[in-house]
Amino acid sequence: MNFSGYVSAATSVNKVAAGRNFSVQVRVHNRSGQSWPSDTLHPLNASYHWDSATTGTTAVHDGRRSPLTPATVENDGYADSELVVSAPKLAGRYRLVVTVVAEGWAWLEQHGLTPAVLEIEVAIAQSAVLTRKGTDIEWERWGSDDPYFGVLTSPQFRQQTMTNEARAVFFASGHAHVKQVLNTCRAHLATDFVPNKVLDFGCGVGRLVIPFASVAHEVVGVDISPSMLAEAARNCHEQSAFNVELLPSDDTLSALDGDFDLVHSSIVLQHIEVSRGRILFEQLVQRIRPGGLGAIQITYGWDVYADSFGQQPAIPPVPSPTRLQLLKAEIRSHLPRKTRSFATVASAVATDPEMQMNFYNLSELMFLLQRAGISRVYSELTDHGGALGIFLYFQKPPNG
């Protein structure tokens, strides 16, 4: 059958939050020389595809449907529809291809219909918590200035000098890590484990969400840095990982919805103040669905502090100043100050953002796991440049 004609479409939306719905006014024009009947066997519906504007790859093939009015499109006539469109969960620049499908038979652009194409930007949802504190600010600086080195602190991953070969090594390390994590889960916790929905906490530029996306139906990555999330979205588009959703993180994980088969985090909590990270650890455990697995890495000490078992020795208290010291300080405060020279300030070199290294009390974390009903933990020790840690693998008990 000949379906020569075209689709016109209009919407007030040119930017939408990931996963949100919006309306498109659709008009289908028949120029084929014959009518297009819609019957119970092959009804005609307005629908859409989402294509990545970056790569041209189809990100979402089967869009939502909306019936045409009238159902039969007469020759030289038209039919209208108000189409509700669901934005992709992965942020980025897209082309929305508005078309018609004859259900159970074909998409009509394959038989002469010219679809409408709209340019839409899909944006990462904003965190409900707007206040940043502590390491959040520094981590956004890493995300904007040197995101790959912020994830893996090797000189080859510096933004200014990173080559295509180094970039390939960076992402290959992510695939190797995910393979190792899943193999460990199957060897020690659940032999036939295949996660359907995965959470990667502290996803950075997407080093791990991309390989997780190749084995899971749905992957959610969260990070405190908007710049990290934006770079992760670009990487997901380039590698066609469209089953990834990227969300802003905060201390309550407010952007997350539902629970997960696997909750994962590696070399992340060490960069968060312990008082906050301990709460986040407990919340991550709560996000594991009954019977699901956790794989979370934390640090507990430095190898240089062997005499104190990895813990930094306590700093002795500063003694209170004597009366003579107080008197001298008072006299100095009334003397004229010397003029400070700023001659060398212009030549100062900008320094990296702060990268905190924090160490967790394993007794506290084990308490939280046991309180969550977890009775068995498999662990592997880690060493990242002298920062000693442990990778904890555990399974949430099933319902009942």
Q: Tell me whether domains 5-123 and 135-304+353-395 share a fold.
A: no
Burial class (CB in 10 A: 0-12, 13-18, 19+), 322: exposed
| pLDDT for position 1 | 83
Between β-strands 21-30 and 5-10, what pairing exists: parallel, antiparallel or unpaired? antiparallel
Residues 116-131, mean pLDDT to the nearest whole number: 83
What does pLDDT average to over the chain? 91
| pLDDT for position 356 | 87
Segment among 40-49, 276-285, 343-352, 384-393 with least mean pLDDT: 343-352
| pLDDT for position 195 | 97
Q: Using alpha carbons only, give the angle 54, 59, 61 rounded to the nearest 5 degrees.
A: 140
Instruction: Calculate Rg over the CA atoms of the chain.
Output: 28
Segment among 98-112, 127-141, 231-245 with least mean pLDDT: 127-141
Residue-wise pLDDT for 303-313, tens only, equals: 888 888 888 77
Contact between 97 and 110 (Cβ < 8 Å): no
Residue-wise pLDDT for 29-42, tens only, equals: 999 999 999 888 89
- What DSSP character marks residue 63? -
Measured between alpha carbons, how far is 168 from 335 in angstroms, rounded to an integer?
A: 61
Provide the residue type at 40 as one letter.
T
Measured between alpha carbons, how far is 227 from 54 in angstroms, rounded to an integer?
A: 18
Instruction: Select from 254, 250, 299 the least CA-distant residue to 274.
Output: 299
Multiple choice CATH, 135-304+353-395, 3.60.15.10, 3.40.50.150, 3.10.560.10, 3.40.1400.10: 3.40.50.150
- Give whole-number Cα distances, 321 to 315, 327, 328, 332, 393, in Å: 17, 10, 11, 15, 51
| pLDDT for position 347 | 39
| pLDDT for position 125 | 80
Residue-wise pLDDT for 378-392, tens only, equals: 999 999 989 999 999
Residue-wise pLDDT for 178-194, tens only, equals: 999 999 999 999 999 99
pLDDT band, residue 337 (cuts 50/70/90): low
Tokens of 8: 């016109």
Give yes or no for residue 132 having a pLDDT over 70.
Answer: no
Measured between alpha carbons, how far is 344 from 31 in angstroms, rounded to an integer?
A: 74
| pLDDT for position 93 | 97
pLDDT band, residue 73 (cuts 50/70/90): very high
| pLDDT for position 355 | 87
Measured between alpha carbons, how far is 183 from 189 in angstroms, rounded to an integer?
A: 10
Q: Using alpha carbons only, give the angle 165, 169, 174 rounded to the nearest 5 degrees.
A: 150
Contact between 98 and 114 (Cβ < 8 Å): no
Residue-wise pLDDT for 160-170, tens only, equals: 999 999 999 99
Residue-wise pLDDT for 236-276, tens only, equals: 999 999 999 999 999 999 999 999 999 999 999 999 999 99
pLDDT band, residue 345 (cuts 50/70/90): very low
- Of 340 and 373, the structure prediction assigns the larger pLDDT to 373
pLDDT band, residue 350 (cuts 50/70/90): low
| pLDDT for position 189 | 97
Residues 94-115, mean pLDDT to the nearest whole number: 97
Q: Where are the domains of the chain?
A: 5-123, 135-304+353-395
**What is the second-level CATH architecture of the domain 5-123?**
Sandwich (2.60)
